Copies of this chain bind each other. A is one copy, B any other.
Amino acid sequence: MATETEENYIKAIFKITEKNQGTANTNAVAQHLNTSPASVTDMLKRLSEKEYFHYEKYKGVYLTTKGIKLATNLVRKHRLWEVFLVDKLKFQWDEVHDIAEQLEHVDSDELITRLDTFLGNPKYDPHGDPIPNADGKFTLRSQTSLMNLQKGETGIVVGVRNHDTPFLQYLNKICVNLGTKISVVNNIDFDHSKEVSIDDENRVILSQKACVNIYVKKTND
């Protein structure tokens, strides 16, 4: 069994390689885990001996099948716990990450199987991120950034790109959540911000940065 620290390294590598064409380098891992590059080098050597990933000096790492399996399962556990915290315990979506970060390391397959059933086998977490099934398969979804919606077009919010508390709290304040309907009223070319209508009720100006971080599914209405 991997220690909690080892699990966090492997998950970090998984997250980084997801974006960064398949490999994770030392500094990226260090930044992600808030440790020193020296500590990371040390750990990469030890963990690659346990066959979680391939490591070549100065070249970074990439996960093995074993490593991907472990990382995917961690993501599954993390997201299921987030669903529990929001759906059952009524936490806000900006409050659950740190707690799930701990809960994901609890070791019991039976627990996760039962939790999944208890929650009704959810496919997405409170941030709209897909929950892999027990075999590690993600349910993908067609989505686009709010940035890509033209004037007059409408979408339903299905996810967020940025998960930071201030951003999520800002969305709370302007009543944007998963399922919220957003229509683009005007594109403001000057700074690429958008005037949008939220659930046909409020009018708000969203900055380019905000738009980029909101995922929607286009609708014909």
Q: Are B91 and A102 in contact (CB under 8 A)?
A: no
Contacts A88-B118, A118-B88, A118-B89: A106 and B99 contacting too (C-beta < 8 A)?
yes
Distance in Å: Cβ of A206 to nearest Cβ of chain B:
30
Partner of A107, one of B85, B90, B95, B102: B102
A212 within 8 A of B: no
- Interface segment, one of A21-29, A108-116, A183-191: A108-116
A residues with a Cβ closer than 8 A to B are 85, 88-91, 95, 98-99, 102-103, 106-108, 110-111, 114-115, 118
Measured CB to CB, the nearest residue on chain B to A101 is: B106
Given contacts A91-B110, A99-B106, 11 further A-B contacts (CB under 8 A): A88-B118, A89-B114, A89-B115, A90-B114, A91-B114, A95-B110, A98-B108, A99-B108, A102-B106, A102-B108, A106-B106
Complex alpha-carbon distance, A111 and B102, angstroms:
12
A98→B85 CA distance, assembly (Å): 22
Chain B hits for A91, CB < 8 A:
110, 114
